[in-house]
Structure 1
Amino acid sequence: MSIRVTSSDKIEEMFPDTPVRKIITPVERLMKVETTGGIVLIIMTLAALLWANLSPSTYEHFWHLPFSLTIGSWIGHGNLHWFINDALMTVFFFNIGLEVKGEMTYGELHDPKAASLPIIAAAGGMLFPALIYLALCPHGADSAAHGWGIPTATDIAFVVGCMAILGKRVPHALRVMILTLAIADDIGAILVIAIGYPSGDGINFVALGTAFALLALINVLFRIGVRNLLLHGVIGVAIWAFFVKSGVHPTIAGVLLGLSVPAKAVVSQGKLAKFANGVGNVLSGETTVSGEEKYRVFSLLKRGARESLSLQERLYKPLVPWVNFAIMPLFALSNAGVEIKLNGLELPVMSAVALALVFGKPIGIFLFSLLSVKVGIAKMPSYSWKVLWGGGMLAGIGFTMALFVAGLAFDVGARQDSAKLGILLGSFTAAILGTIYMKIVSKPEK
């Protein structure tokens, strides 16, 4: 029996049509358009800014409504803002980790030299913004230099939104590079917070050690072939809870879990084809079998079809619409609401943050990338240097983590407000200029 390959659209048409499918299908097609998620993110960002400036008290009150999670004897106390940033965004970072893992296994990051480029670029993208900030706000008695860490972080969620708006104009290799860079950047930002802005509580190393022990366990289970998603889900939630307790930002748990998921299928497509050939007569109805035998054959076929997709593929694809149309819009609505105050602003702080984001990020990313390729540490990317510069411009969007660091660096008052306004100006300028630049220099990928 020979198998003729048919497109997925043709296969889908073979399924019975139902009234509800007539409603769902157009929505599904709209959600698959790359720019749709970015447009939703922009709408939510603008809505947050309007809400925060028209009624700042209701905006603050709503996102600070109490919210708690209970896992066994562990209770996580927080508010809605905490739940979105520390819980829902962990799912976002888990999905990013899954995408990077796929690229590390089969794609752009399979070559170690290609994988080293975004990590080195991330170091430059953190160093140069800090240097520009310190040059504009030098050390002094009442020093504003303490805010040097504010412009070092890239906001991965908003960068993903901008890349979604650009669609095919962002080469796939550049998208992977920027995602990997942003993950390395976030890890670096956590180190910046730990070193430059330590809290009184510090890090709970017992909780952190327990989280890494569970992470090691989940990797062992994957290696010996345990594919029970319920079991892995329970362990994953426990890892997240221990990260919360440790004082290390729990979104790192999402990245590490995503990178742990196997990206290789258990059953190869060749083996599945042989099995399908073996049961061809049953599938075509030419051979009559008992109900029990038919159930067994079709159960095995279902299992073979499931195992012919890697666990990374099975988890990544279904999560994408939830991330693009639920988690990221909620994140934007709860984080982008910066109240713009013009009274008593410290212009040096505001301009230092904005300029560090707009110029420091692309300069640092470009120079460190160029240097690493010339020295031979990293591999020349498949896209041009001018396109890489555009990616560096988009990396200047440093919203959420930058706002978080601003709250640690400065007390509530004019200086903190100046830093936040600088973040707002710098991030929006980087987003607008980066998007326009990419539309000019980059042609859509086929």
Structure 2
Amino acid sequence: MTGGVPGSLVGGLVPDPCGGTVTTPTGRPSPRLFGRGSWPEVSRVAEILRTETVGGALLVGAAVIALVWANSPWSGIYTGLAGLTVGPVALHLDLTLAEWAADGLLAIFFFVAGLELKREFVAGDLRDPRRAALPVAAAVGGMAAPAVIYVALNAGAGAGALAGWAVPTATDIAFALAVLAVIATHLPSALRTFLLTLAVVDDLLAITIIAVFYTDSLQLVPLALALLPLGLFTVLVQRRVRSWWLLLPLAAVTWALVHASGVHATVAGVLLGFAVPVLRRADGPGPGLAEHFEHRFRPISAGFAVPVFAFFAAGVSVSGSGGLGSSLTDSVTLGVVIALLVGKPIGVLGATWTVQRFTRATLDEGLSWWDVLGLALLAGIGFTVSLLIGELAFGAGTERDDHVKIGVLAGSLLSALLATVVLRIRNRYYRRIRAAEELDTDADGVPDVYQTDPDRG
């Protein structure tokens, strides 16, 4: 009797949800959670992590500058800069700089997220549904639990407080990876890959929430017209056309029409990312087009688009809106803080435990549930998308929006501090293991641990 274990997990060597197989001493198969994965995927993720870590440092720096400026005697200059309107009125694109950052620059961020998500499920280690099960389940759990906690704390608050239910559901991958790079330099690559994939799926779910729940009015004509440049863009990239003077205007027109339709313009970025093919032609040299675009646009996204958005979004005056004490007693602020600090870890850890119980899996050798807890706490770092949803839910510059910003900043900081405590302790353990693995590396540059198991590439 196998109970709730799927048939594919019964008998023989069983692939685990995140790479690797193992047979127990009794001869019965036991899938492993957080296996190493393949060396090409580990190498690719390491490159992404380096870019996102630098971007995370820039993001934090931009947010600190905005906070200091917004609470300085020159706060009026900051407010005036954020509210400066530029753009053609005739095309309804006369937006403030803050709106250009939220609607325009974040479209680049979501374009890269779309590329990454498609590549993960087409050519990455997660193309196997059993490997994808764990990070997808963790992402869903990590969004559901915070939303439930926020709603429970704001059920009787009234005055539209429930509109912010989605604020604490998003994880900021750049911010989280920047913290991870500082506090846990020797964390196993499988855990880093898990956090990265969780955040990518999290981004997709977040943009779906934005499109479905935060579209006030839908204009069907512009939305239908957007399909024309999007379709032409798709045809060109499917033919492996890379000419920026052809693709960039089509992407800009698609973005403008989606913006005019009432759907948040960042949705256009995801759709354009999904249109790009991942696999290169059989006889074609070099990387696939999606990987080519990632190399081009990820530095722009992480190094410019997201930090500029953070600069305009994080500048909240803690002395305004009734003062810091008043904001910390508001149910919206408390809901965001508690949902990020408690809800995210509960959701991620609970979903991971559920997958483990359902598949009767065991953690990969040497790993501990403390590692999973540390990553779950890191997932509570919500920033970019959380601030964006706060603006959509309550309106940019409103009192409630300011309270959301304070809640996001406080919840993210507390999550980062708790994750630091947990992961710094584990980092000492993995430093010794990593040192041994690096000594056991052949002339080909591939550690032997990735060559001994054929399932790991």
Q: TM-score, normalised by structure 2?
A: 0.69
CA contact (8 A) 2:138 2:347 kept: yes
CA contact (8 A) 1:214 1:239 kept: yes
1:429 aligns with 2:414: yes
In the aligned structure 2, how far is the partner of 1:392 from the partner of 1:190?
Answer: 21
- 1:156-195 aligned within 5 A: 156-165=173-182, 168-169=185-186, 171-190=188-207, 192=209
Match of 1:76 among 93, 98, 101: 93
In the aligned structure 2, how far is the partner of 1:320 from the partner of 1:130?
Answer: 29
CA contact (8 A) 1:346 1:415 kept: no
1:332 aligns with 2:310: yes
CA contact (8 A) 2:82 2:97 kept: yes
> Which residue does the alignment assign to 1:323?
301
Question: Judging changes above 3 Å, is the alpha-carbon distance between structure 1 residues 437 and 138 closer, same or farther for their aligned structure 2 residues?
Answer: same
Shift of 1:144: 4.5
Match of 1:121 among 133, 138, 145: 138
In the aligned structure 1, how far is the partner of 2:409 from the partner of 2:326?
Answer: 17
Question: Judging changes above 3 Å, is the alpha-carbon distance between structure 1 residues 237 and 143 closer, same or farther for their aligned structure 2 residues?
Answer: closer
Shift of 1:75: 4.7
Shift of 1:332: 2.4
- 1:367-446 aligned within 5 A: 367-376=350-359, 385-407=369-391, 409-410=393-394, 416-442=401-427, 443=430
Question: Judging changes above 3 Å, is the alpha-carbon distance between structure 1 residues 237 and 409 closer, same or farther for their aligned structure 2 residues?
Answer: closer
Which segment is superposed worse, 318-327 or 330-339? Answer: 318-327
Question: Judging changes above 3 Å, is the alpha-carbon distance between structure 1 residues 219 and 354 closer, same or farther for their aligned structure 2 residues?
Answer: same
Which segment is superposed worse, 107-116 or 353-362? Answer: 107-116
Shift of 1:170: 5.3
Shift of 1:428: 1.5
Shift of 1:50: 0.5
Shift of 1:126: 1.9
Residue-by-residue CA offset, 1:117-164 (whole Å, 9 max, x unaligned): 333322212221122223333326667555433322333443344345
Shift of 1:345: 3.6
1:366 aligns with 2:344: no
- 1:84-95 aligned within 5 A: 84-95=101-112
In the aligned structure 2, how far is the partner of 1:315 from the partner of 1:416?
Answer: 34
1:154 partner letter: T
> Which residue does the alignment assign to 2:324?
342
1:131 aligns with 2:148: yes
Which structure's CA Rg is the greater one?
A: 1
In the aligned structure 1, how far is the partner of 2:227 from the partner of 2:359?
Answer: 33
CA contact (8 A) 1:159 1:394 kept: yes
Q: TM-score, normalised by structure 1?
A: 0.71
> Which residue does the alignment assign to 2:17?
none
Q: Which runs of 5 or more structure 1 residues have no equivalent in the other structure? A: 1-30, 269-303
In the aligned structure 2, how far is the partner of 1:239 from the partner of 1:381?
Answer: 45
Match of 2:264 among 227, 246, 249: 249
Which segment is superposed worse, 135-144 or 234-243? Answer: 135-144
In the aligned structure 1, how far is the partner of 2:52 from the partner of 2:143?
Answer: 29
1:319 partner letter: F
Match of 1:65 among 70, 84, 87: 84
- Secondary structure of 2:125 counterpart: coil
Match of 1:312 among 283, 286, 290: 290
- 1:185-224 aligned within 5 A: 185-190=202-207, 192=209, 199=216, 202-212=217-227, 214-224=229-239
- Secondary structure of 1:76 counterpart: coil
> Which residue does the alignment assign to 1:354?
337
CA contact (8 A) 2:211 2:264 kept: no
1:40 partner letter: L
In the aligned structure 2, how far is the partner of 1:196 from the partner of 1:126?
Answer: 15
Question: Judging changes above 3 Å, is the alpha-carbon distance between structure 1 residues 95 and 162 closer, same or farther for their aligned structure 2 residues?
Answer: farther
- 1:100-119 aligned within 5 A: 100-119=117-136
CA contact (8 A) 1:393 1:434 kept: yes
CA contact (8 A) 2:55 2:302 kept: yes
CA contact (8 A) 1:150 1:403 kept: yes
CA contact (8 A) 2:54 2:178 kept: no
CA contact (8 A) 1:116 1:378 kept: no
Match of 2:246 among 224, 231, 247: 231
Match of 2:57 among 39, 42, 49: 39
Residue-by-residue CA offset, 1:240-272 (whole Å, 9 max, x unaligned): 22221222222232233223322223355xxxx
Shift of 1:52: 1.0
CA contact (8 A) 2:57 2:175 kept: no
1:96 partner letter: A
- 1:287-298 aligned within 5 A: none
2:303 partner letter: F
In the aligned structure 1, how far is the partner of 2:415 from the partner of 2:82?
Answer: 27
Q: Which runs of 5 or more structure 2 residues have no equivalent in the other structure? A: 1-48, 439-457
- Secondary structure of 1:438 counterpart: helix
> Between Structure 1 and Structure 2, how many residues are aligned?
375
Compute the RMSD of aligned alpha carbons.
3.6
